[in-house]
Chains A and B, each alone.
Chain A
């Protein structure tokens, strides 16, 4: 398959670009942060995104979605990433929609998917349990008690967990920490008894929560996928999430880079434009190359996801590693090349570096994914 966008994807990208530039420029995010907004995303804006069909991109047509695939949602996230658009699109439109569309029972699909598509509910995926992403280390317990399961433990860094209506939770039903077998995914109502949702205050001012479970009850019909094989299932969902997040991070990097190039063309010192300095030109050119490599890696991973490639895991780790490294580099260099103004809160670049470092941690850092890539490649 060719590494270029289809007409349909170009159309989605153009729509998303217009939306992000007009409806959610960075000032939109800044206002939410300054106002200490409860959700750190705006319900009306989210409803506008829903009305554009974005929450249903990964949902089959029979449940009201468009089934435009990971390629479709990724071009949207890339454009939204350029203006740091905060919304539950990643947690709901990517993770929730993909998980239930692909692994849900008919009953679960009928129950949740139309509500995801219409914007009635948002979802969150609860995997991590410590400061580092590592799904195999799950020790969060789901214990069978007659006809029900009792969920106990604490989940950390749940994206949009402070506002989600539905939680998809990775739990250990058997086996030991470190084993792939014995993991199971549960769908839990965020209003269930025994849940304690603790909102997190992170550097990027987005919506995250730690969630404590105290004897939260779940029934068999709330298991997502099959029991004990949730490890494989969640890896698949995570890989789609990693690829989509890489696309958003690519958008972050492109935007910070563009802002910097524009600055080099108008800022004068010593009586000349600073863009004439070779020390800055060469670093800018190097960043250009890294962004080009990132575009290719993300696009290949996106296509791999939609084609069910048997290289999907490797491509996902490739994309997340490269996107993380590139955004890391660009967000650092953008600030340095701007000089003093780059480290002021008034200027937007600070938002990009803060978002960069949080996004790097989401579903595995570049270090995590370099190791995973090495393992998958037999190095």
Chain B
């Protein structure tokens, strides 16, 4: 206990000294806010974003539980709680958003060799390398294991040819973790490998995909005779499917948190929107039908939040729960946006121009973006399959 109190004091002092003013609550609103993803191509509107990332990265506190030898913070669970509490206390911004942290690093820790961990983890933790995910292909969506991008062993390296799709921010990323077919004759699940590829290698190209929201967070990624060193293979040859599935659990857990109003989509409050646009009488949403739909939705949201807490309190077991959270979280988030645009009325489907508020136009885009939530990372239907087979044990 004494050690923990000492640790708390050190954290407090360090944050006090190292967390720049614009990275805390009460920051000057005129200072532009960066969405910090790091990487070689990163640009910062506010130089303090970079300072904050570098300082937190040097401490390893962007991944506080990872051992120090791999660039992490080397903290135990109690210390992480303290770090989070002290960061929360000053309203410190998360220094780094990263697919490397959310998805790749846990897999590297489990399946990577010592050399691979030492090579890649520190760069993820410091935000020096930005990663993207190469999973889906034009012919392999829900049936991911049918993927066809091939990696041929030609002696001293792999030769990769094929196409990935839905690679988030591939045009901004430095490296890609990709599933490739290394065993064309093996059964489909047994011929897949997990490969790391530098996006600057000759033969790699990307093309952004414009979504119905008008934004382009995803790309198509093409591999044309790309030479990849042998040491970039994670795990055994043709044993990549187990790694792919492990990574998907991390991805689903991350996407499901959208249902609670954070992350992708709009974080605006449904009730205030309804009061503003539908009307308010005696402190109530004035249209009873909107009000009851919103109340039902909020009740489900409350119960979903409690279920999140319960899963955590129970020790966060089982991959199947990840499927439930992914399914429910994304479906709930879609419903929330439907209710928000309905309550906003005509303004909720505004696209552009000066006649509409920026936040309403953003809402339209956000609503359209949420339509992808229940598709990416495994569709809702795939999650229902997982629950019915793995949890309920229903026959195939």
Interface residues of A (CB under 8 A from B): 2-4, 261, 264-265, 273, 275-276, 278, 280-282, 284-286, 288-289, 292-297, 299-300, 318, 321-322, 370-371, 373-375, 377-379
Contact = CB atoms under 8 A, between A and B. Distances in A.
Contacts, number: 112
Interface stretch (B14-22, B80-88, B147-155, B380-388): B380-388
B327 interface: yes
B396 A276 contact: yes
Given A276-B394, A284-B388, A3 B304 contact: no
- The DSSP consensus for interface residues of chain B is helix
Given A282-B384, A284-B394, A4 B310 contact: yes
- The DSSP consensus for interface residues of chain A is helix
B389 to A, nearest CB: 8
B132 interface: no
A2 B313 contact: yes
Interface of B: 271, 274, 283-285, 291-292, 294-296, 298-300, 302-304, 306-307, 309-310, 313-314, 324, 327-328, 381, 383-385, 387-389, 391-396
Nearest to B323: A285
Given A286-B384, A294-B303, A377 B298 contact: yes
B371 to A, nearest CB: 20
A4 B314 contact: yes
A379 B298 contact: yes
Contacts of B385: 278, 281-282, 285
A297 B396 contact: no
Given A374-B292, A379-B291, A297 B395 contact: no
23 contacts: A3-B309, A3-B313, A261-B392, A261-B393, A265-B393, A273-B395, A276-B394, A281-B384, A285-B387, A285-B392, A288-B387, A288-B392, A289-B324, A289-B387, A296-B303, A297-B306, A322-B300, A374-B284, A374-B292, A375-B284, A377-B295, A379-B274, A379-B295
Contacts of A275: 394-395
A275 B292 CA distance: 36
B310 A299 contact: yes
Contacts of A282: 381, 384-385, 388
B388 A285 contact: yes
A4 to B, nearest CB: 5
B328 to A, nearest CB: 5
B394 A373 contact: no
A370 B299 contact: yes
A185 to B, nearest CB: 29
A288 B294 contact: no
Contacts of A296: 303, 306-307, 309-310
A51 to B, nearest CB: 33
Contacts of B328: 289, 293
A331 B170 CA distance: 48
B253 to A, nearest CB: 16
A370 B291 CA distance: 10
Nearest to B321: A292
B394 A281 contact: yes
Nearest to B284: A379
Nearest to B293: A370
Given A275-B394, A282-B381, 13 more contacts: A3-B313, A289-B328, A289-B387, A293-B307, A293-B328, A295-B307, A299-B306, A300-B306, A318-B299, A322-B300, A374-B291, A375-B284, A379-B274
Contacts of B302: 297, 318
Contacts of A289: 324, 327-328, 387
B374 to A, nearest CB: 13
B271 A373 contact: no
Nearest to A369: B299
Contacts of B310: 3-4, 295-296, 299
Nearest to B315: A4
Nearest to B296: A370
A375 B328 CA distance: 26
Nearest to A266: B395
A284 B283 contact: no
Contacts of B388: 281-282, 284-285
B384 A285 contact: yes
B310 to A, nearest CB: 4
A281 B295 CA distance: 29
Contact of A4 (B285, B299, B304, B313): B313
A318 B389 CA distance: 30
Contacts of B292: 370-371, 374
